Structure 1
Amino acid sequence: MYIAILIASVFLSSFLVWGIARTISVPIQHLCLQIQRINGETDAQIQDSYSLNELESLKRSYNQMEEMIRRSEEEKRQFFQNASHDLKTPLASITGYSQGIVSNVIKDHQKAASIILSESLRMTDLVESILSLSKMDSHTFDLHPTDLEVMEFLDECVDIMSTIRKDCVIHLEAARPLMIHTDPELLKRVIQNILSNCLRYAEHEILIRMSTDGNSLILLIQDDGPGFLEKDLPHIFERFYKGNGGKNGIGLSIVWTGIHYLGGSITAGNRAVPEHGAYYQLLLPLSF
């Protein structure tokens, strides 16, 4: 009797262990198969429900990871598609005008050379922006911080950008001179990209107001244009997002990535009624 009970107990224990093992091993094998299917393009989410809390938690973590990978791959694909399109346009102009000069179809060589130069500079700027974004994303962008007198720095930025539109005035307001410790080249790119966007939409003027809260430099840049469309507001810093007027590019994404790379932050929106136009508020630490 004892031997029979012992054999039955061993058999029952083995069956229970086998059953428990299967409830764990089968979902794990399924998870391994799903991981092998991940390619960032097709949906590889797990839809099954599991009885064990730990396996349910693992499934949720996997699904979140899979969704992030798929979204990242889609963003990368979209980024390269748009970058290729933006590079293709100036290349087509350069090729067309070059062929026109060679075949002597274009008689005004000076005008053609001017367009070729302009499109070459545009393409160079785009390539440099893409490289800068890539380096900042991988945290390999080299910063060279130095002491910077903000008013003098902004004056220089305004002088450069004022040549783009003669009918738009850029006003600069500051309570007092202020020193910060930051990378001047990256900050200049950030400010110029914002001013370039403001100049595109402003009617008559742009205002830059400088202040401090004791720990951070606060820069408010605003224009008197139509402002952002409500549907565009959540996406204005996305790379190659096509917003108001069908414009797309990476200018404002450079602003977002660059200001955060410098340890600061940025917000943007529309000015309060009755005023109209867009605003950008940048916060930068006084010491980098």
Structure 2
Amino acid sequence: MSGISLRLFKGMMVLVAVIVAVLWLFQVVFLEDFYSSRQIGLMQDKVNEIAAQIGEKGIDDPKLQEEIAEFSDVYNVIIGVFDSSGVSVYEAGGETSTGTQNFFDKHIMEVVTEALNGSTVNRTEEQTRTGGRFLFLATPTGSGALAAAVPLAPVSDTASILKVQLAYITVILLVVSFVLSYVLSGRFVKPILKITDAARKMAKGDFDVDLDVKGNDEISALARDMKEMGIELGRTERLKKDLIGNISHELRTPLSLIRGYAETLRDVSGNDLVRRNRQLGIIMEESDRLSELVDDILSMSRLDSGASKPEPASVDMKELANRVSERFRDLSSRTGIRLLIEAESDCRITADPKLMTQVSVNLIGNAFKHARENVLVSVSRNEGLVTLMVDDDGNGISDEDLPRIWDRYYKGKGEGAAGTGLGLAIAKSILESHGFKYGASNNDSGGARFWFSAKSS
């Protein structure tokens, strides 16, 4: 046993030791006084009850005398009833020696005298000869006084017996606590050790961890979260590897084309202007692809680092949609895909204009990659919300791709799944930084639909 298991075991044993110490402190210091006060209270209540009945029925009532005798026998109490002159009219209780009787007579008469003056008395006295302690009680009855003498030796004996019992209980408790602490600390630490081993594996790049920890407590929840984290990290690692491969391919292809056509321009084209212009156009297109790739990577990096923070301003979404659509006119002409804009007036929101432009560009650019003939950008206002929606007439989003379509590095497996897999992830990060709602689905024509909405301003 070592580490956290040992510390937990020690902590549990210290807790048990503190509890036992408190119990012993209570037994040694407080128990006898507490038990005595309870017994004194019980005797006082009973004496007061009998005194009230004497005042109501008189001491000559047979049932009352029977009750007094029973009380005297059960609790070993000496009871005396006195008239207003202090003369004894009734007695109940065991026989005592002459010395003890004199002791009782002296102190009973003292408390009776006080009771006849209207006081309720309880007093503890110690007999010098025997060392015994006695409780003397007296209370007025209306026509005299009722007095009682109770030996306190049984109280002390009971407290002593309880102390002996506590000694046995302490030994048993310590043994049981030792065994339970050892077993429970081991069971408690076992899942923590599993989580520690899993964390070490993940630190070394092995994300395939087995954390089968059952239960509904915090440690089990941590184990499940660690397992999910391992799955996500493993998936992210695979996506990063795919990204590196994709970027290598995406960089190599335009660079090869640029180099090839540049060499052709230098060595072959000569004065053929048509051929030269076509080759220059290809070089420019491939340069744009490289710029787009670099821009996506830089944008994602800025969003991750927090360097790209929203600077809110009033944005006219109709004007923004029209302005962004102009960027795609050349692409629309080259591909033959029509870009349609349907925008309502008075659709203003509070957002960062540059970042909203980037989101719109990414959504429309994604639609062009998958559309066959048409891309529709619509801006509408409904119930205080302004919504920008981008629809294409491609093959739509598969059920497999839909839950992960916004993940970074992820590219769908369908037709048109080119690029870095960062465009939609960038849009997602920007929209979440603004607190806007967004989503993706398939539209009625079977194509894909991407949208986001914000409160109108």
Q: TM-score, normalised by structure 2?
A: 0.52
Structure 1 position 263 matched with structure 2 position 431: no
Q: TM-score, normalised by structure 1?
A: 0.77
Residue by residue over 1:19-55, the C-alpha shift from the partner in whole angstroms, topping out at 9 and shown as x without a partner, is 33333345434433332222343422234668x9565
Q: Which residue of 2 aligns with 1:67?
A: 231
- For 1:94 and 1:222, locate their aligned partners in 2 and report how far apart those are by CA, in whole Å: 33
- For 1:27 and 1:269, locate their aligned partners in 2 and report how far apart those are by CA, in whole Å: 41
Tell me if the contact between 1:198 and 1:222 (Cα under 8 Å) persists in the aligned partners. Answer: yes
The offset of 1:177, in angstroms, is 2.9
- For 1:255 and 1:144, locate their aligned partners in 2 and report how far apart those are by CA, in whole Å: 16
The offset of 1:89, in angstroms, is 2.1
Q: Give the counterpart of 1:152 among 311, 319, 330.
A: 319
Which amino acid letter does the alignment assign opposite residue 223 of structure 2? K
Structure 1 position 280 matched with structure 2 position 447: no
Q: Which residue of 2 aligns with 1:228?
A: 396
- For 1:285 and 1:116, locate their aligned partners in 2 and report how far apart those are by CA, in whole Å: 43
Which amino acid letter does the alignment assign opposite residue 115 of structure 1? I
Change (3 A) 1:45 1:139: farther
The offset of 1:193, in angstroms, is 2.6
The offset of 1:123, in angstroms, is 0.8
Secondary structure, aligned partner of 1:163: helix
Secondary structure, aligned partner of 1:284: strand
Change (3 A) 1:174 1:17: closer
Matches within 5 A, 1:1-288: 13-39=177-203, 40-47=205-212, 55-98=219-262, 100=264, 104=267, 111-166=278-333, 167-223=336-392, 225-231=393-399, 232-238=401-407, 239-249=409-419, 250=421, 251-272=423-444, 275-287=445-457
Which amino acid letter does the alignment assign opposite residue 87 of structure 1? L
Secondary structure, aligned partner of 2:308: coil
Change (3 A) 1:254 1:205: same
Change (3 A) 1:228 1:153: same
Change (3 A) 1:98 1:68: same
- For 2:446 and 2:200, locate their aligned partners in 1 and report how far apart those are by CA, in whole Å: 53
The offset of 1:257, in angstroms, is 3.1
Name the count of aligned residue pairs.
281
Deviates more, 1:231-240 or 1:186-195: 231-240
Tell me if the contact between 2:213 and 2:220 (Cα under 8 Å) persists in the aligned partners. Answer: no
Which amino acid letter does the alignment assign opposite residue 436 of structure 2? G
Change (3 A) 1:27 1:174: closer
- For 1:214 and 1:244, locate their aligned partners in 2 and report how far apart those are by CA, in whole Å: 36
- For 1:152 and 1:269, locate their aligned partners in 2 and report how far apart those are by CA, in whole Å: 25
Tell me if the contact between 2:370 and 2:415 (Cα under 8 Å) persists in the aligned partners. Answer: no
Change (3 A) 1:202 1:144: same
Which amino acid letter does the alignment assign opposite residue 22 of structure 1? G
Tell me if the contact between 2:207 and 2:230 (Cα under 8 Å) persists in the aligned partners. Answer: no
Change (3 A) 1:85 1:12: same
The offset of 1:266, in angstroms, is 2.4
Tell me if the contact between 1:41 and 1:74 (Cα under 8 Å) persists in the aligned partners. Answer: no
Secondary structure, aligned partner of 1:245: coil
- For 1:53 and 1:148, locate their aligned partners in 2 and report how far apart those are by CA, in whole Å: 48
Secondary structure, aligned partner of 1:38: helix
Change (3 A) 1:70 1:278: closer
Tell me if the contact between 2:377 and 2:389 (Cα under 8 Å) persists in the aligned partners. Answer: yes
Gaps of 5+ in 2: 1-164
Which amino acid letter does the alignment assign opposite residue 360 of structure 2? I
Secondary structure, aligned partner of 1:165: helix
The offset of 1:241, in angstroms, is 0.7
- For 1:264 and 1:95, locate their aligned partners in 2 and report how far apart those are by CA, in whole Å: 43
Name the structure, 1 or 2, with higher relative contact order (CA <8 Å, separation 6+): 1
Which amino acid letter does the alignment assign opposite residue 148 of structure 1? V
Residue by residue over 1:205-239, the C-alpha shift from the partner in whole angstroms, topping out at 9 and shown as x without a partner, is 4433322234321123323x234153444444343
The offset of 1:168, in angstroms, is 4.2
- For 1:49 and 1:174, locate their aligned partners in 2 and report how far apart those are by CA, in whole Å: 54
- For 2:213 and 2:352, locate their aligned partners in 1 and report how far apart those are by CA, in whole Å: 51
The offset of 1:130, in angstroms, is 1.4
Tell me if the contact between 1:41 and 1:73 (Cα under 8 Å) persists in the aligned partners. Answer: no
Q: Which residue of 1 aligns with 2:57?
A: none
Secondary structure, aligned partner of 1:212: strand
Secondary structure, aligned partner of 1:242: coil
The offset of 1:198, in angstroms, is 3.2
